[in-house]
Amino acid sequence: MYVLRRIGVYALAIGAAFFCAAPFLWSMITAFKQNRDLYNPINNPFVFNRPATSDHIIYLFTKAAFGTFAWNTLWVGILVVVITLALSLPAAYALARLDRPWAGWFGITIFLVYLVPPSLLFLSLSRIVVGLGLQDNTWSLVLIYPTITIPVSIWLLIGFLKAVPRDIEEQAMVDGYSRLGAFWRAVVPLTFPGIVAVIVFAFTLTASEFIYALSFVSPSTEKVISTGVPTELVRGDVFFWQSLQAATVMVALPLAFVFNLFLDKFIAGFTQGAVKG
């Protein structure tokens, strides 16, 4: 019975992993194929019928400005994460700790803001972006993305902050710190796992966003990965398939790797935010 169950667990785990990762496995094979190999429906698509080539990956960096897209995604993501933390950490602390009678419904209202979808706002936001003179500029994304990340970050951080024992900040205040000092010196360091969860989640959300990036920014040097790759590597009906697949894999693997590192912390935050929030 025990052995059977172990086999069952392994079979399910391998099956699930395959179900999720199969498109990427195939992308990896495709990325190194020659055109004459790829565009022949008789060829076995899972093996190299001709020698592998790295031409299409070189093309990605030399002709398609993939490096620029990646760099834009990176710095936009980092700035958005910084803005998100700077705004949501104090807000979450106020809602979790400062014992305001309205903290409960206020927290819920902020969470509901997370549910307002970009598809409802992009038309008017693109007008606001034009009004601010930020159209076709990557900075417009730095300005707008925190509206997606702040509400969910506040919600996650409330959970982590509630898990920090009150005694610790009270002790810090007895030791002569002001409330602000106790927050900064005693509470924030203990919330570090939550901060990490927010960094990872906010960055992933930012890197995935599509509608705002598509409607605010059109010059190719200002684009981010999520819009640059599909628009610059598809010219009319011509798809640069190998380069597209290479780009997908190169973005997917590091993001999943980092997310996996912090998955346990993320799960802990979700539990606390949901159960005690």
* Residues in region 50-69 near another protein by CB under 8 A: none
Coarse DSSP helix, strand, coil percentages of the chain, rounded to the nearest 5 percent: 80, 0, 20
Residue 80 backbone dihedrals phi, psi, to 5 degrees: -65, -40
Q: How far is the CB of 68 from another protein (least distance, A)?
A: 16
* Euclidean distance between CA atoms 200 and 259, whole angstroms: 6
Show contacts with another protein in window 226-255 (CB under 8 A).
226-227, 229-230, 239, 241, 244-245, 247-248, 251-253, 255
Show contacts with another protein in window 28-47 (CB under 8 A).
30, 38-39, 41, 44-46
Cβ-Cβ contacts under 8 Å for 258 (sequence gap 6 or more): 200
| Token representation of residue 177 | 């710190």
The reply on whether position 4 binds another protein by CB under 8 A is no
- State which of residues 85, 154, 164, 198 lies at the interface with another protein (CB under 8 A): 154
- State which of residues 60, 81, 85, 125 lies at the interface with another protein (CB under 8 A): 125
Show contacts with another protein in window 128-147 (CB under 8 A).
128, 143-144, 146-147
Handedness of CA 180, 184, 190, 191 (dihedral sign): positive
* Euclidean distance between CA atoms 224 and 200, whole angstroms: 18
Handedness of CA 135, 139, 226, 20 (dihedral sign): negative
* Euclidean distance between CA atoms 39 and 23, whole angstroms: 18
Judged by CB under 8 A, which stretch of 52-60, 160-168, 185-193, 206-214 contacts another protein? 206-214
Residue number, 193 or 230, with CB nearest to another protein: 230
The reply on whether position 7 binds another protein by CB under 8 A is no
* 3 state SS of 44: coil
The reply on whether position 10 binds another protein by CB under 8 A is yes
The reply on whether position 21 binds another protein by CB under 8 A is yes
The reply on whether position 106 binds another protein by CB under 8 A is yes
